[in-house]
Amino acid sequence: MKTALVCGAGGFIGNHLVKHLKLEGFWVRGVDLKYPEYAETEADDFVIGDLRDPVVCNAIVDRSFDEVYQLAADMGGAGFVFTGENDADIMHNSALINLNILHQLKENGVGKVFYSSSACMYPEYNQLDPSKPVTAEDSAYPAAPDSEYGWEKLFSERLYFAFNRNYGINVRVARFHNIFGEEGTWTGGREKAPAAMCRKVAESGNDGIIEMWGDGEQTRSFLHVNECLEAMRRFMDNDYIGPINIGSEEMVSINQLAAMVMEIASKPLMIKHISGPTGVKGRNSDNTRIREKLGWAPNMSLRAGLERTYPWIAEQVKVAAVES
Ligand code: NAD
Ligand code: GDD
């Protein structure tokens, strides 16, 4: 039986990945500071542990796993990563996790290790025009991410590639573009725009108003988590080591995103634009490389992904209201 270690298995993508790996027949160990919040883990073994601690990393990497997925990070949406208030923790915590894990993989060996970088590592100067953002993989340099979160991701990408060159560690480095879906963070300050819009619409009365940071003309693309898992698994089974974008090319403005959610909810609400952390003016995944290397493109439209996600978040809002 193949074995997998999922770091960050209590998080959004990690918990979905564990389920996926179990369906494929892997024996899975998950590690996280916490259990998944919205579903029971399906991992064979789940360790509550802090990956900033080398002793914990030493204990959980007690064998040569066939596959390791390093998803653990201090992470969130614009309200967490772009305010500046969490910069020191984001850089310190996530860098330590990556340094510790790679050291252990060097000591114990590993079949392959997947690292989840982010589109936030791309230079800000290529994302100033909301209609024509550039995110081809080879446009990363000269480096100029607009957040410390992006700088840490760039550093850690380089770290994985250095361990590949110097110690022969078989790495796969992917750059995720805004991933959303059911059982993702929807409240508390770390939620990303799709979940935030779903929550605000669900919480609002039929004639209400929702607040949105910025003028709403900033653009993004959003990929449903099931599509993300499919791309990750194909990437692991391919010889190409990356970096590679994993995202959607269906670019929308945040105003369009909100309008879509309102349509799904049948709630025609007003939008009040307020100041808030907005990040880059435009971003879209460039999928040229992933199409060429993996023959992969997402199938699920943003609308179809939101049609699955909105009811789940609306249900969470209802349950929270009853409990409060
Ligand atoms: P998430 O926050 O839901 O999951 C990350 C998990 O890491 C959390 O459960 C957290 O508790 C855990 N973690 C943090 N510090 C830890 C520590 N010291 N020890 C052990 N566990 C720790 O985030 P996610 O959306 O599932 O993202 C997974 C990965 O993908 C992250 O590395 C993130 O930066 C990257 N990424 C995600 C997106 C996205 O849109 N979701 C986009 C770009 C990159
Ligand atoms: N989260 C959130 N909440 N965003 C809002 C809101 C709101 O209420 N209102 C408007 N927005 C706007 C943000 O200001 C930003 O311009 C846009 O919606 C997208 O915000 P997020 O989804 O939070 O983040 P992002 O796309 O800028 O960055 C995310 O994706 C990266 C990968 O592409 C983050 O999760 C990063 O951590 C991630 O790496």
Its ipTM equals 0.99
Which of 213, 222, 280, 283 is the best mutation target for the ligand 2 pocket, counting ligand atoms within 8 Å of the beta carbon and taking the most?
213
Q: Whose CA is nearest to atom 7 of ligand 1?
A: 72
What ligand has the least distance to the C-alpha of 192?
A: 2
Kindly report, residue by residue over 180-191, the tens digit of the pLDDT.
999 999 999 999
**Pocket perturbation via mutation, ligand 2, pick of 86, 151, 192, 274 by most ligand atoms within 8 A of CB:** 192
Which domains are delineated in the chain? 3-179+223-246 (3.40.50.720), 185-221+251-281+301-323 (3.90.25.10)
Question: Between vectors from CA 224 to CA 263 and to CA 71, what angle results, nearest 5°?
Answer: 140
| Extended strands (E) in the chain | 3-7, 27-32, 45-48, 67-70, 112-118, 171-176, 179-180, 209-213, 219-220, 223-224, 244-246, 252-253, 270-274
CA of residue 74 to ligand 1 center, whole Å: 6
pLDDT at 116: 98
- Best residue among 220, 251, 253 to mutate for probing ligand 2's pocket (most ligand atoms within 8 Å of CB) is 220
The protein residue with its alpha carbon nearest to ligand 2, atom 33, reads 177
pLDDT value for 93? 98
Which atom number of ligand 1 is nearest to the Cα of residue 192?
Answer: 40
201 pocket-lining for ligand 2 (C-beta < 6 Å) = no
- Summarize pLDDT for 93-123 with one digit per residue, the tens: 999 999 999 999 999 999 999 999 999 999 9
CB-ligand 2 contact for 118 (6 Å cutoff): yes
pLDDT for residue 324: 84
Please measure the distance between the N-terminal and C-terminal CA atoms of the chain and give it in whole angstroms.
45
pLDDT, residue 76, reads 97
Cβ of residue 143 lying under 6 Å from some atom of ligand 1:
no
Query: Is residue 179 lining ligand 1, measured as CB closer than 6 Å?
Result: yes
Residue identified by tokens 């330590």 is: 96
Atom of ligand 2 nearest to the CA of 220: 26
Side chain identity, residue 212: M
pLDDT along the chain (324 residues), means of 10: 98 98 98 97 98 98 96 97 97 98 97 98 98 98 98 98 98 98 98 98 91 98 98 98 98 98 97 98 98 98 98 97 90
Asked whether 246 lines ligand 2 (CB < 6 A), one says no
